[in-house]
Amino acid sequence: MSEQPLISVIVPVYKVEPYLDRCVQSIVNQTYENLEIILVDDGSPDHCPAMCDAWAAKDGRVQVLHKENGGVSTARNAGINIAKGAFFTFVDSDDWIARDMILALYRLQKESTADVAGCCAEVVCDDHVPCRTCSDGNVRMYSFLEIVRNNFPNNSWSLWGKLYRSDLFDRVPRDLPSHLVMSEDIMLNTFLYKNCKRIALPDCRYYYYFRDGNSAISGELKPQMVRDCETAYSTMLSSIDSNDEIYGYMMGCKIQNDYFLINSMIRNQKCMDQFARLRHEILHNLKLIFDKKYAGIFSQKQRFGTLLLAVSPTLYKWSILFRRKVRGY
């Protein structure tokens, strides 16, 4: 154990009473043992605070930080502020991880000398633990430019399922928006990746991402979600020189997010007062959307959809609703 560097595992906790033990158990059972497990109770009103304390009493590697409710970003930041590890990893408290995830990511980081080593996730909708699937073992190495050029591939937008060099966080601005419920992961990762030379992403699923129907992705679209996405992407874009090559790619990622939002508005029939504004923003960037340079971000199918959105918003809305009826979602 002494030869292993300390790794800090940071777990924001809020109203996850049915899932918390499963999450923490998967962490304490890791084959990589030199861990600092930080459970940040974000003012949870249920039994989570007591459950966290029980884990600290059971395993000396677990420490608990109780704080007033401020949202997942503030809880994560509180954990980062007290973490002492050479590497950080994050686990959402309703998810869990494969027993060898941290060891696998550490070995990948050590062998590749990457600044960040990550993995993919298996989406789970019940308590069934699926068999982990891996590719043929190939590891794709990315630079920050390549990550953005390909619109954050292989779950690279997420904070979970990653092993970060802890010193990367020293270069992140302290004044980033901290009360976002949407896009906070991709915003923080953008600032982390900007200081990375190598990001290692194998196509292997060590992380189990639990979906219970109440997540921001599967749940009902709300005005705050739209505002949060706008805040996150404007923060990212403002940090990049508009003359930099990467700016265009980041703008492409923002437009992709605009598509996600307007399609969600149509499917949910929510926040439709924002539809015209987002449509205008997409159409304002037609030149970028149809530039072959950004083919890694926009598919031919999506470009056709853009033309439909430009010619007839009504037909575009109908096409989204028809697709939902056919596919069932």
Same domain? 35 vs 180 = yes
Residue 290 belongs to what H/E stretch? none
Same domain? 79 vs 228 = no
Task: Tell me, yes or no, whether 111 lies in a domain.
Answer: yes
Domain extent at residue 22: 7-210
Q: Give the SS3 label for residue 82.
A: helix
CA–CA gap between residue 56 and residue 151 (Å, rounded):
39
Tell me what pLDDT residue 215 has: 47
Same domain? 153 vs 275 = no
Instruction: Yes or no: say if 240 and 246 are a contact pair by the CB < 8 Å rule.
Output: yes
Same domain? 248 vs 147 = no
Tell me what pLDDT residue 192 has: 97
Tell me what pLDDT residue 127 has: 61
Task: Tell me, yes or no, whether 239 lies in a domain.
Answer: yes
Task: Tell me, yes or no, whether 139 lies in a domain.
Answer: yes
Tell me what pLDDT residue 327 has: 73
Domain boundary pick from 144, 175, 210: 210
Same domain? 45 vs 185 = yes
Tell me what pLDDT residue 217 has: 45
Same domain? 189 vs 123 = yes
Same domain? 202 vs 236 = no
Instruction: Yes or no: say if 155 and 161 are a contact pair by the CB < 8 Å rule.
Output: yes
Tell me what pLDDT residue 1 has: 47
Same domain? 205 vs 263 = no
Exposure b/e, 159-171, CB count within 10 A at least 16 = b: bbbbbbbbebbee
Domain boundary pick from 177, 210, 243: 210
Same domain? 110 vs 251 = no
The burial class, CB within 10 Å (0-12 / 13-18 / 19+), for 243 is: exposed
- Counting the structural domains of the chain, the total is 2
Task: Tell me, yes or no, whether 52 lies in a domain.
Answer: yes
**Which residue intervals of the chain are DSSP H helices?**
20-28, 48-58, 72-82, 101-112, 144-149, 184-193, 223-238, 245-268, 275-284, 286-289, 300-311, 313-327
Tell me what pLDDT residue 3 has: 84
Same domain? 290 vs 195 = no
* pTM of this structure: 0.90
CA–CA gap between residue 154 and residue 157 (Å, rounded):
8
Task: Tell me, yes or no, whether 1 lies in a domain.
Answer: no
Same domain? 49 vs 80 = yes
Task: Tell me, yes or no, whether 163 lies in a domain.
Answer: yes
Tell me what pLDDT residue 42 has: 97
Would you give per-residue pLDDT tens digits along the chain (329 residues)?
Answer: 458 999 999 999 999 999 999 999 999 999 999 999 999 999 999 999 999 999 999 999 999 999 999 999 999 999 999 999 999 999 999 999 999 999 999 999 999 999 999 998 988 876 666 555 555 567 899 999 999 998 898 789 999 999 999 999 999 998 999 889 899 999 999 999 999 999 999 988 999 999 775 444 445 789 999 999 999 999 999 999 988 889 999 999 999 999 999 999 999 999 999 999 999 999 999 999 999 999 889 988 889 999 999 999 999 999 999 887 777 65
